[in-house]
Chains A and B, each alone.
Chain A
Amino acid sequence: MGWYNKRLAKSLWVFHVSASPCNNCDIEILDLLTPRYDVERFGIKLVGSVRHADVLLVTGVINEKVAPRVRRVYEQAPKPVFVVGVGTCPISGCCFKESYNTVPRREDVIPFDLYVTGCPPKPEAMIDAIVKLVGVLNA
């Protein structure tokens, strides 16, 4: 498995799951593809279909309406798949945590492997998170 994990670590294809975000983290994620950060250096590619994905980037508090859809998208992804929560929202609900509409326990909807903090997180923080994921895979 070590050999395969090394291949996987060098070619993480990312699918962007937008689970009721405020759109701030989504803009920061797109920054990663620009010439300044260029994550294609590490083999990371943004894909449009969840069937091609290795990493699900979940942004936003997951609210009641979107929760079943997020669950379904996770089940549609071919395993092994990793779930990264981007921003403060997946961690704590940020300023929306007392809203009538947010899911009380986000971990029950989709099993997170990794969190990136920040509101929104800097692109450097996201690259750092990906490097940590790669480190776990290579270990």
Chain B
Amino acid sequence: MKASILFDFLVFPGIVFTAGLGLIAGWLDRKVSARFQYRVGPPLFQNFNDFFKLLGKEAMLVKEGVPWLFVAAPLAGFAVISLVATFVGTALFFGRDTGGDLIVVMYLLMLYSVTIVLGGAAAGNVYAGLGAGREVKLLLADELPFILACLVPIVHAGYRPQLADILARQAEHGMLVGSVSGAAAFVVALLAVQAKMALPPFHIPEAETEIVAGPFIEYSGPLLAFWKLNQFMMFVVFPFLLILLFWGGFQLTGPGVVWGVLKYLLILVLMIIIKNTNPRVRTDTAIAFFWKYLSPLALAAVVLAVLGV
């Protein structure tokens, strides 16, 4: 039993699988973005080259700021994302819980944003500090609608937050996205995920044109490689989570594989399209968008779910 948990965490669906698929998904993101701009785009293994190149470069530590936190933040973020990938992946592919339910997953995803804030704040750079502050604001903005949207599958599963129960309910009654409350919650969750991953139009924390790279500005070499890897792994974790919550899971047998891959690609490409067709919004606009429009929508979805629609 212990060996199987280790295998889950280290190989499939944990670190190795998520990192490999994430680097490919990151290539898809760059390629589709390039085609949007009538460019050719990078070759298939570009992100692998970037990652290994960064691993071999010099890692510079900060003179001002807190060096140990500066080093610890990307590694802690990597640990958090790997853990989420294991929880979501084992439930999605094998239908069993590895000790974590949806509440743990939501908590860990919030913790990842906290590691970004800590890493940015430890760098002792003005731009990094600004980026960390913006990350906090964005976290405040997107957390409420995200949690409300995640409540909908919990309510549908008979008020049980176990990932396996959510999947089992959808196996009986069909995909959650087919119901009114499920569809509304999916839209809200997709937009909140866009903000959680800091993708355009919500790339406020790392706005290239004003604060250069935000919290990541002082990172170089292997530490930057881990931040990049975390971001690519989120290209796997978040679509898988959305598939699990709203699109009825990923069967590993027969035509289920094809359907699963299609669901994954659909959500990934939706995210890339939203990313490429929207300019960056201001911080106050983003908070107003999430609190004034998406949160009431998510709340309405929860009420509808309680009513059983």
Bitwise, A53-84 to B at CB < 8 A (1) or not (0) is 01000000000000000000000101110000
* Interface flag for B43 (CB, 8 Å): yes
* Pairwise interchain contact B49-A78, C-beta atoms closer than 8 A: no
Measured between alpha carbons, how far is A53 from B115 in the docked complex, in Å? Answer: 24
* Pairwise interchain contact A7-B56, C-beta atoms closer than 8 A: yes
Residue among B37, B43, B60 making CB contact with A51, cutoff 8 Å? B60
Measured between alpha carbons, how far is A47 from B52 in the docked complex, in Å? Answer: 17
Of A4, A41, A43, A49, most buried by chain B (CB within 10 Å of CB) is A49
* Pairwise interchain contact A11-B220, C-beta atoms closer than 8 A: no
The 4 A-B residue pairs whose C-beta atoms are closest, nearest first, are A78-B58, A51-B220, A48-B212, A78-B220
1-51 of chain A: CB within 8 A of chain B = 4, 7-8, 10-11, 13, 35, 38, 40-41, 43, 47-49, 51
* Interface flag for A105 (CB, 8 Å): no
* Interface flag for B280 (CB, 8 Å): no
Of A8, A35, A76, A78, most buried by chain B (CB within 10 Å of CB) is A78
* Interface flag for B67 (CB, 8 Å): no
* Pairwise interchain contact B43-A43, C-beta atoms closer than 8 A: yes
* Interface flag for A52 (CB, 8 Å): yes
Task: Give chain B nearest CB distance to A137 CB in angstroms.
Answer: 11
* Pairwise interchain contact B34-A4, C-beta atoms closer than 8 A: no
Which label, helix, strand, loop or mixed, suits the secondary structure of the B interface?
loop
Residue among A4, A11, A38 making CB contact with B50, cutoff 8 Å? A11
Measured between alpha carbons, how far is A38 from B34 in the docked complex, in Å? Answer: 9
Contacts of A38 in B (CB 8 A): 34, 39-41
Task: Give chain B nearest CB distance to A27 CB in angstroms.
Answer: 17
* Interface flag for B296 (CB, 8 Å): no
181-216 of chain B: CB within 8 A of chain A = 208, 212-213, 216
Q: A48-B213, A76-B60, A79-B57 are in contact. List 7 more A-B contacts (CB 8 A).
A: A11-B50, A35-B38, A38-B40, A43-B43, A52-B213, A52-B220, A78-B220
Residue among B46, B56, B220 making CB contact with A8, cutoff 8 Å? B56
Measured between alpha carbons, how far is A8 from B38 in the docked complex, in Å? Answer: 26
Of B37, B39, B60, most buried by chain A (CB within 10 Å of CB) is B39
Task: Give chain A nearest CB distance to B227 CB in angstroms.
Answer: 10
Contacts of A43 in B (CB 8 A): 42-43, 46, 49-50
Report A's interface with B, CB cutoff 8 A.
4, 7-8, 10-11, 13, 35, 38, 40-41, 43, 47-49, 51-52, 54, 76, 78-80
51-78 of chain B: CB within 8 A of chain A = 52-53, 56-60
Contacts of A41 in B (CB 8 A): 40-43
Report B's interface with A, CB cutoff 8 A.
30, 34, 37-43, 46, 49-50, 52-53, 56-60, 208, 212-213, 216-221, 224
Residue among A10, A48, A76 making CB contact with B46, cutoff 8 Å? A10
Measured between alpha carbons, how far is A8 from B57 in the docked complex, in Å? Answer: 9
What residue in chain B is nearest A53 (Cβ atoms)?
Answer: B220
Task: Give chain A nearest CB distance to B67 CB in angstroms.
Answer: 15
Task: Give chain A nearest CB distance to B52 CB in angstroms.
Answer: 5
Contacts of A52 in B (CB 8 A): 213, 219-220, 224
Measured between alpha carbons, how far is A54 from B224 in the docked complex, in Å? Answer: 13
Measured between alpha carbons, how far is A78 from B57 in the docked complex, in Å? Answer: 7
Contacts of A51 in B (CB 8 A): 60, 217-220, 224
Measured between alpha carbons, how far is A41 from B40 in the docked complex, in Å? Answer: 6
* Pairwise interchain contact A54-B53, C-beta atoms closer than 8 A: yes
Given A40-B41, A41-B42, A78-B60, check contact A7 B49 (CB 8 Å).
yes
Contacts of B217 in A (CB 8 A): 48-49, 51
